[in-house]
Structure 1
Amino acid sequence: MGNNGSVERRTVLKAGGASVAALGLAATTGCGGDGGGSGGGPVEIRFAWWGAEERAKRINQTIALFEKKYPKIKVKTDFQDYVAFWEKFQTQAAGGNPPDVFQNAVAFLQKYDKRSVLLDLKSQVDAGNLSLKNFRAGVEKVGEVNGKLLGVPVGSNTMSLVIDEKVFEKAGIKPKQGWTWDEYFSALKKIRDTQKVSGDTGYFGIMYLYDLYLRQNGKAFFTEDGLGFDEADLTEWWSDGYNRVKAGIITDPKKVEQLKPKSALASGDGASEFTWDNFTVRYTTEGDSAYGLAPIPTTDGKETGQYLSSLMLSASARTKHPKEVAQFINFMVHDPEVGKIMGYDRGILATTEQFDAYKPTDAPQQAIAKYEEDVAAAGVLGTITPHPAGADTVEAAFLRIAADMSTGKTKVSAAVKQFFSEAKTALAA
């Protein structure tokens, strides 16, 4: 886990059901030990994640496979939508009773490491219960913080630009690797003038896109212990966005809000939208046009600032079953059958065993895989920016305050001051 991703995570990952108990099926044990168990008896571990019903169905299928391979380990499951998950997790963590293993994202690693909630999994790697081999493009580094292994990626994603291909084609615009922000904004104006539709749905409120822009200019949204930019930087970014809204090349923010949970791109009220590449499948289900992935605009015609982010699996420092938890994580990230079941639900599969095992047949997922391959081949991927404790609260503030600024509820200068005030408080907590 990472933009309008805060909104999209609440939409795309909306959970529609309650907890589901996984089935235990007896069979042979797997590699890495005797299948776990204290004194030969069964062990129960708790696994929690956020996601939709479809994700829950897929995960429970993989758990059935795991329990078949490790019959002495039973997995009790729980899932919520994104917001409810973290509300519940925070309560559990504060009470000293977090789940043994859980889905996690980069924005939460420092936060919960600081509170001694997360297990350093390096000891389980050393013990042979967890392998860090065969990860794609070094994505396993995403879970390393302060010399500790706090999460193991299950999938990778990167920021992308999703476009309405029909609108772009009619406007005579062909995005290319290395195009600049000036070229992008010129394209948006041409789309508005010729196709009578706003060119972008609101780039300026996406924290992770702003991070890319800062990285293109030698800075970053976060440093290891705070913000990597100043008020002047943000004033320029938000003033630019506000002016483009007023110029009509950005979708009216009030319209965007009214359309939710549907995207303004899918509704035909915008021609492009920045988001994580693995979210692309939503547009095909929501809209009736053709949607594609285009390169991120650049400042210098070369660097996009992109990096691979990831959803990952982390473990509780309080778990009584670290070996069994490590075996579970190892199975979930390496087993080929798990890869076939999960597909790209949580991003492009992180390990080569799973990536090679899953062959997407539908166009949207094929496009996602190709996009990440193309980005990697272009040599623009860098190392993910560290996220300090409080990053999740900072992201929520960025999204909310940008929305208020864009709809005229607050002036740019006041919005910038409010953001820095709230960010300072969040990062000091």
Structure 2
Amino acid sequence: MKRRSGRLLSTAGLSLLMGAVALTGCSNDTNNASGKTPDASGGTVELRVLWWGSQDRHDLTMKAIKLFEDKNPTIKVTPEYSGFDGYWDKLSVQVGGGSAPDVIQMSTAYINDYVNRQALLPLDGTVIKLSDIDESTLSTGKLNNKLYAIPAGINSQSYVYDPAMLAKAGVKLPEHMTWDDLAAAAKQVTEKLGKDVIGVTNDSGSPEMLQYFIRQKGMEFFKDGKLGFTTEALTEFFNYWEKLRKEGAASTPEQTASYFGAPLEKYPIVTGKTPFALLSSNQIGSISTLANRPLEMTFIPKASGGMDADFVSPSMYWSIYAKTKYPKEAALLMDFMLNDPEAGKILGANRGVPVSGKIREALKPQLNDLDKKQFDFVDKVTKVAKPINVIDPKGAGEVRQLLGTTSQEIQFGKKTPEQGAKEFMDKANAILDKMK
């Protein structure tokens, strides 16, 4: 079996990524960076493109695709898009049937899986221009020294909050919250704003939240193809959220189930039911627009005296289906999305801070207040960021889903936190073992 080749996005690499205008990395400058087809003969080529996201991402991507088609009249692009929920089930079925789209929006949790399924095309030597992307960033999409995915942008996890709701409840957040600070704020929100308001959504089923919790203890979610944390740490994590739920400061099991995996427009912070939401930094624009009120970002809570756990990583990637009939045209479309200045201005920072130095520079004059918030927050996180293994081992997606299932069983009283933690560890390790 192919073994995982984990990559680290270092703090130094992150600084280069945020600051450099012309970055040096893997270079292939023989391509046409404008995205125009060199040879228009041979009839029309039809490409399919798959991505997940909110409605504004769909709208922006469709606008960029229209520009690509205008520049490449012999290429027609058929979009396939949805919310995140169900996305991977759909892609798995398509790959299994040999009918996946030509260009695929990819995640760190699934790169390893799809490389092992021989579903992703190596991108080395294609027409995609790589010279404006830092090598440390490109390396996060490599396995076995081959480039299978290119980041569409970078971001960090953030705790989005509603300053007006918190002010109404008399809550003042420190710049760096502790877990105790969050618990106290959630209780105060519930007490001051009434039973119809959730102090905080129960994030015990969130792999992202767990990752921060255990990194503060010097552990990782995955290490060397296995779980990188202990049963005791997971039990503590489950107990934290279960205590908040029982105190009425966190969402009920029914409420949690209703928004778990839901599209952004149904998030409780959008409807004014809670002042907090765990989101990627690139989602600040979408969530603020949907909520139609000012929202801010802060760091994920940390333990008093705990280790810094913040990190910056690719928000998502672009990949090409290994069985595409049109690898050249698919690469042209990817290059266009990543490197074309006009496309960059359309797409903005919706998929995170652009990885191309030239695109970042081109965007600066047009950044709106929400984009500036994202850029500024990622810059703040970069200054304290610690390296992280970016590409997950094969089976990671199934393990992440198992965490959500286990969390729901605990919330509904089917298991204690101790039982849930032990069973999760046993089942998750079994999943990872069978994938080796």
Give the TM-score normalised by the residue count of structure 2: 0.80
Which of 280, 295, 299 aligns to 1:295? It is: 299
Question: Is the CA contact (8 Å cut-off) linking 2:101 and 2:321 kept in structure 1?
Answer: yes
Q: Is the 8 A contact 1:337 1:357 kept in 2?
A: no
Equivalent position of 1:350 in the other structure: 355
Question: Contact conserved, 1:224 with 1:387, CA < 8 A, in 2?
Answer: no
Q: CA contact under 8 A between 1:161 and 1:295: conserved in structure 2? A: yes
Instruction: Provide the secondary structure at the position in 1 that maps to 2:311.
Output: coil
Alpha-carbon contact 1:251-1:269 (below 8 Å) kept: no
1:173-192 deviation digits (Å, cap 9, x = unpaired): 13214x43333334444444
The answer to whether the 8 A contact 2:218-2:307 is kept is: no
Cα drift, residue 365 of structure 1: 3.4
- The answer for the alignment partner of 1:233 in structure 2 is 233
CA distance in 2, matches of 1:77, 1:279: 21
* TM-aligned CA deviation for residue 138 of structure 1: 4.5
Is the 8 Å Cα contact of residues 44 and 73 (structure 1) preserved in structure 2?
A: yes
**Number of the residue aligned with 2:144:** 146
* Distance (Å, rounded) in 1 between the aligned partners of 2:284 and 2:272: 15
Q: How many angstroms apart in 1 are the aligned matches of 2:82 and 2:269?
A: 27
Q: How far off its partner does 1:380 sit?
A: 1.9
Residue 325, structure 1, aligned to residue 340, structure 2: no
Kindly provide the CA deviation profile for residues 324-370 of structure 1, in whole angstroms up to 9, marking residues without a partner as x. Answer: 32222111101111122122332233322333333566543332222
Q: Are the structure 2 counterparts of residues 165 and 337 from structure 1 closer, same or farther at C-alpha, using a change threshold of 3 Å?
A: same
Which residue identity is paired with 2:123? L
Rounded to whole Å, the distance in 2 between the matches of 1:282 and 1:52 is 7
Counterparts of residues 119-130 of structure 1 (less than 5 Å)? 119-124=121-126, 129-130=127-128
Of 259, 282, 285 in structure 2, the residue corresponding to residue 278 of structure 1 is 282
Measured at CA, do residues 328 and 410 of structure 1 come closer, stay the same or move farther in structure 2, by a change above 3 Å? same
Deviation at residue 293 of structure 1 after TM alignment: 0.4
Corresponding residue for residue 10 of structure 1? none
Q: State the alpha-carbon separation in 2 of the partners of residues 40 and 32 from structure 1.
A: 20
Instruction: Quickly say closer, same or farther: Cα 1:301–1:193, change in 2 above 3 A.
Output: farther
1:246 shift after superposition: 1.3
The residue aligned with 1:14 is none
1:161 deviates by 0.6
User: Aligned partner of 1:295: which letter?
Assistant: F
Residue 380 of structure 2 is matched in structure 1 by: 374
Q: Is the 8 A contact 1:118 1:317 kept in 2?
A: yes
Moved more, 203-212 or 92-101: 92-101
1:173 and 2:179 are equivalent in the alignment: no
Return the alpha-carbon distance in structure 1 between the equivalents of residues 217 and 86 of structure 2.
36
Indicate the SS of the match to 1:303: coil
Distance change in 2, residues 1:230/1:172 (3 Å): closer
Alignment partners' CA distance in 2, 1:109 and 1:190 = 42
Give how far 1:383 is off.
3.1
Distance 1:283 1:69 in 2: 32
2:292 and 2:328 mapped to 1: Cα distance? 48
Whether contact under 8 Å (1:201, 1:271) holds in the other structure is no
Distance 2:36 2:344 in 1: 24
Report the alpha carbon displacement of residue 72 of structure 1 after superposing the two structures with TM. Answer: 4.2
Is 1:338–2:338 an aligned residue pair?
A: no
Asked if 2 retains the 8 angstrom alpha-carbon contact of 1:48 and 1:77, the reply is yes
Structure 2 CA distance for aligned equivalents of residues 392 and 33 of structure 1:
33
Shift of 1:89: 2.2
Once the 2 structures are TM-superposed, how far is the Cα of residue 310 of structure 1 from its aligned partner?
1.8
Name the amino acid aligned to 1:356: E
Paired letter, 1:303: D
Describe the shift of the 1:57–1:169 C-alpha distance in structure 2 as closer, same or farther (beyond 3 A): closer
Give unpaired runs (5+ residues) of structure 1.
1-28
Deviations 1:22-43 (A, max 9, x none): xxxxxxx945898255975554
Q: Identify if the C-alpha distance between structure 1 residues 251 and 394 changes in structure 2 by more than 3 Å, giving closer, same or farther.
A: same
Structure 1 302/76 Cα, relative in aligned 2: closer, same or farther at 3 Å? Answer: same
Identical positions, percent:
28
Shift of 1:193: 4.9
Query: Aligned residue for 2:19?
Result: none
Q: Output the amino acid matched with 1:140.
A: L
Counterpart of 2:92 in structure 1 is 90
What count of residue pairs does the alignment treat as equivalent? 395
- Aligned mates of 2:292, 2:83 — CA distance in 1: 26
| Structure 1 segment 247-286 matched on structure 2, within 5 A | 247-258=247-258, 261=262, 262-286=266-290
CA deviations over 1:29-65 (Å, ceiling 9, x no partner): 9458982559755544332223455433332322232
Q: Which runs of 5+ in 2 are unaligned?
A: 1-30
Whether the 8 Å CA contact 1:30–1:69 is kept in 2: the answer is no
Deviations 1:237-256 (A, max 9, x none): 11222112212332333334
Alignment-derived partner of residue 219 in structure 2: 219
Cα 1:270–1:119 shift into 2, 3 Å: same
1:31–1:136 Cα change, 3 Å: closer
**2: CA distance, partners of 1:415 / 1:103:** 33
2-side partners of 1:268 and 1:41: how far apart? 52
Deviations 1:371-397 (A, max 9, x none): 112222x33253344311121222122
The 3 A distance-change label for structure 1 pair 407 and 164 is: farther
Deviations 1:398-420 (A, max 9, x none): 11221221232332233224423
Contact 1:192/1:249 (8 A) holds in 2: yes
TM-score, L = length of structure 1: 0.81
Q: Is the 8 A contact 2:231 2:422 kept in 1?
A: yes
Asked if the contact 1:36/1:72 (under 8 Å) is kept, the reply is no
